[in-house]
Amino acid sequence: MSGTSAGPAPSAHRHWLRAGWLMTASGWSANQFSSLLGAYRTDLGLTTATTTALFAVYVLGLIPGLLLGGPLADRRGRRPVVFTALAVSVLATCLLMAGPAATWALWPGRFLTGLGAGALLTAGSVWIKELSTPPYGTAATPGAAARRAGLFLSAGFASGGLAAALIAQWAPHPMITAYLPHLALAAAAARFAAHAPETSPVRTAAAASARTTGEPAAARIATTPASAPVPAPAPVSGGSATAFRRLVVPVAPWVFAAPTIAFATLPGLVNAHLDGWQTVYAGVATAVTPGAGLLVAPLARRLAARHRIATAAAGLAAIALGLLVAALAVAHTQPAVALAAAALLGAGYGLCVAYGLTEVAALAPAHRLARLTARFWALCYLGFITPYAITLLTHAFPPPAILIGAAALAVLTLATVTYRGTRDSL
């Protein structure tokens, strides 16, 4: 046995793939509602302000899900948090399916969608990253492993909205049947991930100790003294906290501000001449946006290898350009141009999320990774409020002017992060 090379067993190389489908289910649940906003307005008579408020309620559930899911995943393990969050997500979808008969159910449905997605994103992102690296996987770098979570999430975003839109266009009882695929996907993802191992440093260390001493792992965690080899949670080091604040925090809100503008705001501003096809168009926009985020993954890897902030700079530049193209599309009511803007905004999303996850993986120690990941996702999802903010601002400003103003903010963020990143590297 001493001559056998150490390393993960061949079957373990795919554990990250098993857990990845849970992230796809999370992205699917978040975006299946987005492409139905027009249907809720026309079929249920909900106002634009109400539908965008329902869209934003997701964030009210998501933030506590993220902030609670991170510490729980560090203390209790990745698996229990992930599977509990998936169950909450399924409950949320059932409430949304009750919406046509009881409109009030849409509010807790959207809130619980956010709560489940927040906890699943935090624990799931870390679980995939840890399952991708030794001793569980063979990813070359922690950054490459961390980016896999973003790819699975983008796949869910892209497919969930499009599937819901197509079902809503042609299937009977659209605001019920459009949610059925998520229930099937969640069940399949849960079964697929059932055999993926726990990777939490505290849980795995306790399990190893239990095998040695015969003491139950749960008791071992509860009674581990301060001098035990399992490290107690400690704050992120000052340098890491400063880098997170200076280089990650400014970029994070753009991660979802950009795509939500693309698939929640733009379709309603350019679909005046799409009689009968508004829902399908919204679904296509929902697919194009994160789909572009998936396509830029190879570019994100190459940029990350060149310079620490190159990925963020390219992402923010794409977002600024996408917002300017969006302003042009809205000014002239051009749906095709709006789809081009959605592709640019989606590319910016993909680059920015890859940058953020890579930075978090590099900055956080193993026993604090879930918490710092939670902070990153919480900041990202502040961007989900953007469509509601734009709706409020349209009472005072024309939509093209608002989008141009948002582009100016993206350029300002780009200048700030570029200056800080270049200065820090000197």
What CA–CA distance (Å, rounded) separates 156 from 47? 27
pTM: 0.74
User: H/E/C letters for each residue in 190-224?
Assistant: HHHHCCCCCCCHHHHHHHHHHHHHCCCHHHHHHHC
Those residues whose C-beta lies under 8 Å from the C-beta of residue 285, and which sit 6 or more positions away, are: 35, 262, 263, 266, 267, 338, 339, 342
So what's the pLDDT on residue 236? 43
So what's the pLDDT on residue 169? 81
So what's the pLDDT on residue 235? 42
Alpha helices in 32-173 (DSSP H): 37-43, 48-76, 78-97, 106-132, 142-170
What CA–CA distance (Å, rounded) separates 21 from 348? 23
So what's the pLDDT on residue 10? 41
Task: Report the amino acid identity of residue 261.
Answer: I
Q: Residue 60 in contact with residue 116, Cβ under 8 Å? A: no
Per-residue CA distances from 285 to 294, 412, 419 (Å) = 14, 27, 33
So what's the pLDDT on residue 232? 36
What CA–CA distance (Å, rounded) separates 389 from 253? 14
So what's the pLDDT on residue 116? 93
Give the pLDDT means over successive 10-residue stretches in the chain (426 positions): 41 74 89 81 83 83 85 87 94 94 93 92 86 76 70 84 85 89 94 87 53 47 35 46 89 94 90 80 88 90 88 96 97 94 96 90 77 85 87 92 97 94 70
So what's the pLDDT on residue 130? 85
So what's the pLDDT on residue 237? 46
Per-residue CA distances from 286 to 57, 171, 294 (Å) = 19, 19, 13
What CA–CA distance (Å, rounded) separates 192 from 89? 17
What CA–CA distance (Å, rounded) separates 15 from 82? 15
So what's the pLDDT on residue 90? 96
- Scanning the structure block, which residue is given the tokens 């107690």? 232
Those residues whose C-beta lies under 8 Å from the C-beta of residue 345, and which sit 6 or more positions away, are: 258, 259, 261, 262, 289, 292, 318, 319, 322, 323, 326
What CA–CA distance (Å, rounded) separates 421 from 426? 9
So what's the pLDDT on residue 4? 38
Mapped onto helix, strand or coil, the DSSP state of residue 156 is: helix
So what's the pLDDT on residue 201? 67
Residue 81, judged by CB atoms within 10 A of its CB (0-12, 13-18, 19+), counts as: buried
What CA–CA distance (Å, rounded) separates 404 from 330? 11
Structure tokens at 276: 């009968």
> What DSSP letter does each residue of 30-66 carry, written as one string?
HHTTGGGHHHHHHHS---HHHHHHHHHHHHHHHHHHH
Per-residue CA distances from 245 to 145, 405, 406 (Å) = 22, 24, 22
